[in-house]
């Protein structure tokens, strides 16, 4: 009983379009970890579609996790993703003060935007307050858009190899905000996808790479973060966890592309759950 791992997943529930909780829960469960959701918002479908129903869950979250505190729950990891409002930063900091122990991994995916643009639900105040959460994290996994917002750097449109030093500098700025490890994800350069890692742990600074798979899919960042969070919760070291994450992600992307899955519908990861 003692050894069973638990991960609290603070993210939105989007009914259609694989992202956030509909990705995190199956992936983390398939890795043998109990996945415990705290919804931040409920949507009919993610915000990439032309229209969606959106209900902010901020006013209910405390009522929800108060009961968890009464049950004296603690978690081996806390994974935060999409936030429905700025107020949720305070709620998550409160959640951390109640449920994080010294050995709990705090994994923050600062979901704010993509392709140089903020998501429609993410205003400037939310972006600013996201830094408070980032400061507390063991690991953050921004894409380039989010890394630029957090570090107050202009977005780099078409990344070439010449930009790579600049991206490591952005990683340095993000590390200075307080997290222990920064992974800037999904940097496409000349047909290769790179992840840039900068960590206080062993003073690490390295890139991982994998071939770009023909098509970009919504929710790719969520699949990446869910896999990585799961492997790190299991105690897999950074580099190996990233390799395992990238391996499954590439297979799921190839499969989605081959099956003609519409990019908005997200990465079809389901056939690969049994490989985890
Ligand atoms: O995949 C990031 C994400 C998460 N949650 C919601 C989103 C998006 C991206 O569009 O709309 C609701």
Evaluate if residue 72 carries a pLDDT over 70: yes
* Pairing state between β 181-189 and 192-199: antiparallel
Query: pLDDT at position 202, please?
Result: 87
Rounded to the nearest whole angstrom, what is the distance from the C-alpha of residue 221 to the centroid of ligand 1? 9
Query: pLDDT at position 146, please?
Result: 96
Rounded to the nearest whole angstrom, what is the distance from the C-alpha of residue 272 to the centroid of ligand 1? 22
Among 41, 42, 9, CA closest to 26 = 9
Q: pLDDT band at 84, cuts 50/70/90?
A: confident
**Protein residue closest via CA to atom 7 of ligand 1:** 46
**Measured between alpha carbons, how far is residue 4 from residues 103, 116, 200, 232, 250 in Å?**
14, 40, 28, 15, 29
Query: pLDDT at position 93, please?
Result: 97
Among 265, 219, 215, CA closest to 27 = 219
Query: pLDDT at position 26, please?
Result: 98
The three-class DSSP label of residue 191 is coil
Query: pLDDT at position 253, please?
Result: 95
Residue ranges of domains in the chain, CATH in brackets: 6-268 (3.40.1190.20)
Query: Which segments of the chain does DSSP mark as H helices, in order?
Result: 20-30, 58-70, 87-99, 124-136, 144-151, 164-176, 220-233, 238-258
DSSP code string of 99-129: H--TT-EEEE----EETTEE-TT--HHHHHH
How many Cβ atoms sit within 10 Å of the Cβ of residue 65? 22
Evaluate if residue 2 carries a pLDDT over 60: no
Query: pLDDT at position 121, please?
Result: 81
Q: pLDDT band at 215, cuts 50/70/90?
A: confident
**Measured between alpha carbons, how far is residue 135 from residues 106, 107, 173 in Å?**
11, 11, 12
Query: pLDDT at position 213, please?
Result: 83
Rounded to the nearest whole angstrom, what is the distance from the C-alpha of residue 39 to the centroid of ligand 1? 13
Evaluate if residue 102 carries a pLDDT over 60: yes
Evaluate if residue 29 carries a pLDDT over 80: yes
Q: What is the pLDDT of residues 117-155, one digit of tens each?
A: 998 888 889 999 999 999 999 999 999 999 999 999 999
**Mean pLDDT on 8-21:** 97
Ligand 1 atom nearest the C-alpha of 54 is 12
Judge contact between 106 and 133, C-beta under 8 A: no
Q: Ligand 1: list residues with CB < 6 Å.
A: 12, 14, 19-20, 43, 46-48, 82, 111, 119, 218-219, 221-222
CA dist 30 and 12 (Å) reads: 20
**Mean pLDDT on 230-254:** 96
């Amino acid at each position: 009983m003692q050894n069973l791992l638990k991960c609290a997943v603070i993210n939105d529930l989007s009914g259609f379009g694989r992202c956030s909780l509909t990705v995190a829960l199956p992936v983390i469960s398939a890795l043998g970890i109990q996945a415990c959701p705290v919804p931040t918002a409920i949507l009919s479908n993610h915000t990439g579609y032309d229209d969606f129903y959106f209900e902010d869950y901020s006013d209910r979250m405390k009522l929800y996790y108060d009961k968890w505190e009464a049950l004296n729950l603690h978690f081996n990891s806390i994974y935060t993703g999409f936030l429905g409002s700025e107020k949720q930063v305070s709620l998550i900091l409160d959640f951390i003060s109640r449920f994080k122990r010294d050995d709990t991994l705090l994994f923050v995916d600062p979901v704010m935007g993509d392709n140089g643009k903020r998501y429609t639900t993410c205003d400037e105040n939310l972006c600013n307050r996201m830094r408070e959460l980032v400061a507390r994290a063991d690991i953050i996994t921004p894409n380039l858009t989010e890394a630029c917002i957090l570090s107050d750097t202009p977005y780099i449109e078409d990344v070439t190899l010449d930009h790579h030093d600049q991206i490591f500098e952005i990683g340095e700025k993000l590390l200075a905000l307080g997290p222990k490890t920064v992974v800037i994800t999904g940097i496409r350069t000349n047909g290769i996808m790179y992840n840039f890692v900068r960590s206080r742990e062993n003073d690490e600074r390295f890139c991982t790479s994998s071939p770009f798979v023909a098509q970009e899919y919504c929710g790719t960042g969520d699949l990446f973060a869910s896999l990585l969070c799961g492997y790190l919760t299991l105690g897999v070291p950074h580099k190996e966890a990233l390799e395992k994450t990238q391996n499954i992600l590439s297979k799921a992307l190839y499969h989605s592309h081959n099956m003609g899955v519409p990019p908005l519908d997200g990465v079809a990861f389901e056939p690969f759950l049994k490989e985890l």
